[in-house]
Structure 1
Amino acid sequence: MTDFADSPAVRRPADWNLERLERLADEHDTPLYVIDLDRVKENYARFAAAFPDADVMYAAKAHTGKAVLEAVLEVGGTIECAAWGELQRAIDAGAEPNTLQYTAVNPPDHDLDYAVDLAADAPGLTITIGATDTLDRLAERGYDGRIAIRINPGIGTGHHEKVATGADAKFGIPYEQVPEVADRVREEFDLVGLHAHAGSGVLTDGLEEHCRAISRVGEMARRVGDEHLEFVDVGGGYGVPYREEEQPLDLEKTSEMVRDAVGELDAQLKLEPGRYVVADAEVILTEVNTIKEAPDTTVVGVDASLSTMIRPAMFGSYHPMLNVSAPERGPIEATVGGPVCTSADVFAHDRPIAEPERGDVIAIGNAGSYGYELANQFHSQPKPAEVALEDGEVRVARRRETLEDVTRLER
């Protein structure tokens, strides 16, 4: 395995250059996303080194920013997409269309039209189906190309019930129906692989259940004839520790357990890390605007909100925080929330943080995965800017939206 001793297995907010972060907040205003593309490349390379014989595809849905996709492609990664827009953005970033994999989940007509049109000129494109309806709709469009079957293994794993896809009927062909579906695909299309995704945010102590789901995929591959498949794709879901006391994913142990779970296969192993590649490569910088003493807590108001990052409101997610302006101050327990008019707009309750003052900059860590992807315009708030760090340089990867951007489609 490649030695990444000089690259920490997880980057905490305190590991960033705090003076630089404060300068960026001053120069580019807040709230501000800061993505470290060097870290993205390190994370992808570290994961790929743990699976040297596998095809490691980056799951674009974690962060589809062009700068991130370009960084993954630069270090030899391929890209897995879950919607037509991600396919287009991957191509715009420089991906070879023949290397793309499109995982269709209840795909709208427009998505299928786009994928079929793309495959006409890029026959190497793989479409992963999770319902026989999708096969019918592809056949109606004259498609007879590469198909992977998404299996529902009946076992869900991950950090939250809303991401435990392996046990959710929405995702994949029911396990015992797969052989029959495989026969049909072989008759009408080109069956190239099997696919499953058990869930997201799996750390070392959750590997056993995760691998129990993966083992079912290996069993099904042998049952339908893995010697006739190009690949067996066990998805992603490999996590990063959001809480300070959590340990980083043990990649060496993960690699051993995943391979043991899948078992002997003639087909190539595929994996789709997303969160692992980008989560700790990005922080949100937000400015303190309000300090309010309440009977049970100190309320710290900031200019970021659930429209900046919705994960705490949507999943109850924990994100580490650091007072970048004065990390040496004594800590207080604070409730940190934004300007959106709902009690869900809170990043942390009773969180120890170096005592903030108005004007301080707070860094919210592990924001790279499903941070900007789920940003929205609630309360007519324009989306924040995103700056990218790479090879010692800083550039604006996305400009800050204006109110004109928010309203320009209205008539």
Structure 2
Amino acid sequence: MPSSGSEPAFPRRGGVLHAEQVPIPAIAAAVGTPTYVYSANTIRARLLRLEQAFASVPHRIHFAMKANSNLAVLRLLHELGAGVDIVSGGELFRAREAGFIGRDVVFSGVGKTVREIEQALEERVLLINVESEAELVTIDAVAGRQGVVAPIAIRVNPEVTVDTPHAYIKTGEKGQKFGIPRDDVARLVAMVHELPHVALRGLGMHLGSQIGNADPMRDALPRLLSAIASARADGHAIAYMDVGGGLAVPYHADEGDADVDDYAEIVLAAARETGLTLLLEPGRFLVAEAGALITEVLYRKHAAGKDFIVTDAGMNDLVRPALYQAYHRIDAVESIEGTVVADVVGPICESGDFYAKDRPMPDVSAGALLAVQTAGAYGYTMSSNYNSRPRPAEVMVDGDRFAVITERERLEDLVRHERAHLQWRTA
């Protein structure tokens, strides 16, 4: 039965790593490797943590589903009362399949196609976040053809300094592709009066990802509040203030969690000042620590004075170390005496295919299982078939039970949409 969610997602009992109450070797024996494993109770506990922090003001948590778009994960969050933040028509489709309806959805992203805007309006999403003047004009035109008024929010780029572990996860600094430069916001707000098929219902921002303290929010909120006040003075019926997501999670064992209370104190004060409904868009914060990638050691190798641990999971399964130079803690599923300084590498034909470099590791042998921790966000969603490798399975654990939530791809799936025998056409 489900557990309380008060313990870690992956506790060690009797020297064996578990997912909640289920021994990980039992999951690997039943499902194979590589496999992503998620703790349902950790997701529940993380969402509850945010709900409690913001309970004193009208608010809604919209999960940024680009972090993990598995239908079972989405359905769990839907059952818990969350909404979703989407960035594509495909994510809108997934959200619908998981049970979300239009008012549960905020549609973000800088490159929405006409068809995606049409879909969003057909589904009557809560808000479409506008990120450029051209997009604003396009939304008005699409809504006009449908004979509706599109509910929009303007995403403000507050242009503040954001300290994140990697440049690619900064979104609120000057010169980023995201949002409207703050000097242009007033002009777009005024434009809305000239566009009969859009209604400005909110303003928001998103500063980036892995933000470890509230300082960027302290700097950015006054700029967002100023934009909200100006929009209201311009006659717009603003209902929502969206502060995005970005709360950090610990990847290193000695790292602390984001200071939710400090973050909440700042945001709550702003929300009370405006009297608006607060929207939050956490992604990684809800699911990262709930997930681990389970992989089997294939070989041990010693070359040029280095030790290598070769696993059956590669960069196509979890690309974050290669793409962001990201650190993930790696644990031996079954405790073992002795350590070795080694590179943990995968089978992909790329020098960038590694999970760790020169890291003290348990001195595991071929056949041992490893758990790559904090892999519940941007793991499976960023996976690929590079080197013609089927993508891994996904499993959810809830107390003492587990279920496959994504079947492992088969070799036939790799070519399902390809054609070797061509049917030629002429223009």
| Mapped contact 1:328–1:354 kept (Cα < 8 A) | yes
Mark the CA change 1:402 to 1:251 in structure 2 (over 3 Å): closer, same or farther: same
Mark the CA change 1:294 to 1:214 in structure 2 (over 3 Å): closer, same or farther: farther
Mark the CA change 1:262 to 1:12 in structure 2 (over 3 Å): closer, same or farther: farther
Choose the corresponding residue for 1:379, options 370, 383, 387: 387
Residue 6 (structure 1) shift = 7.0
| Mapped contact 1:64–1:86 kept (Cα < 8 A) | yes
Q: Equivalents in 2 of 1:305, 1:109: separation in Å?
A: 36
The gaps in structure 2 that reach 5 residues or longer are 420-427
Mark the CA change 1:62 to 1:213 in structure 2 (over 3 Å): closer, same or farther: same
CA RMSD of aligned residues (A): 2.1
| Mapped contact 1:13–1:363 kept (Cα < 8 A) | no
Correspondence 1:42 to 2:41: no
Choose the corresponding residue for 1:115, options 110, 113, 120: 120
* Aligned equivalent of 2:299: 290
* Aligned equivalent of 2:130: 129
Local SS of the residue matching 1:305 = coil
* Aligned equivalent of 2:181: 174
| Mapped contact 2:61–2:282 kept (Cα < 8 A) | yes
Residue 13 (structure 1) shift = 6.8
User: Structure 2-normalised TM-score?
Assistant: 0.89
Q: Equivalents in 1 of 2:341, 2:9: separation in Å?
A: 23
Residue 267 (structure 1) shift = 1.4
Residue 55 (structure 1) shift = 1.6
* Aligned equivalent of 1:7: 6
Choose the corresponding residue for 1:94, options 80, 93, 99: 99
* Aligned equivalent of 1:140: 141
Residue 137 (structure 1) shift = 1.3
Aligned AA (1:329): E
Q: Equivalents in 1 of 2:119, 2:6: separation in Å?
A: 40
| Mapped contact 1:311–1:317 kept (Cα < 8 A) | yes
| Mapped contact 1:340–1:379 kept (Cα < 8 A) | yes
* Aligned equivalent of 1:62: 67
* Aligned equivalent of 2:169: 163
Q: Equivalents in 1 of 2:191, 2:183: separation in Å?
A: 14
Residue 34 (structure 1) shift = 0.5
Choose the corresponding residue for 1:151, options 150, 156, 160: 156
Residue 214 (structure 1) shift = 3.1
Residue 105 (structure 1) shift = 1.4
Moved more, 241-250 or 359-368: 241-250
User: Structure 1-normalised TM-score?
Assistant: 0.92
Q: Deviations over 1:242-285 (max 9, x none)?
A: 01111112221221133346672121221111100000101000
Q: Deviations over 1:356-407 (max 9, x none)?
A: 1000000000001110110000000000011111243211100000111111
Moved more, 251-260 or 10-19: 10-19
Q: Equivalents in 1 of 2:221, 2:24: separation in Å?
A: 40
Aligned AA (1:307): N
| Mapped contact 1:218–1:263 kept (Cα < 8 A) | no
* Aligned equivalent of 2:191: 184
Residue 316 (structure 1) shift = 0.5
Q: Equivalents in 2 of 1:214, 1:345: separation in Å?
A: 40
Correspondence 1:29 to 2:35: no
| Mapped contact 1:287–1:359 kept (Cα < 8 A) | yes
Paired residue total: 400
* Aligned equivalent of 2:216: 209
Correspondence 1:307 to 2:308: no
Moved more, 141-150 or 310-319: 141-150
Mark the CA change 1:371 to 1:393 in structure 2 (over 3 Å): closer, same or farther: same
Local SS of the residue matching 2:294 = strand
Q: Equivalents in 1 of 2:220, 2:165: separation in Å?
A: 15
The gaps in structure 1 that reach 5 residues or longer are none
* Aligned equivalent of 1:73: 78
| Mapped contact 1:156–1:165 kept (Cα < 8 A) | no
| Mapped contact 2:333–2:371 kept (Cα < 8 A) | yes
Choose the corresponding residue for 2:231, options 207, 220, 224: 224
Q: Equivalents in 1 of 2:36, 2:396: separation in Å?
A: 9
Local SS of the residue matching 2:341 = strand
Choose the corresponding residue for 1:362, options 349, 370, 377: 370
Local SS of the residue matching 1:105 = coil
Larger Cα-atom Rg: 2
Seq. identity, %: 32
Higher helix share: 1
Q: Equivalents in 2 of 1:186, 1:271: separation in Å?
A: 27
Q: Equivalents in 2 of 1:381, 1:330: separation in Å?
A: 33
Correspondence 1:281 to 2:290: yes
Q: Deviations over 1:88-147 (max 9, x none)?
A: 1111101122221111312123322322332xxx3x531111011112212222252200
Residue 12 (structure 1) shift = 6.3
Local SS of the residue matching 2:42 = helix
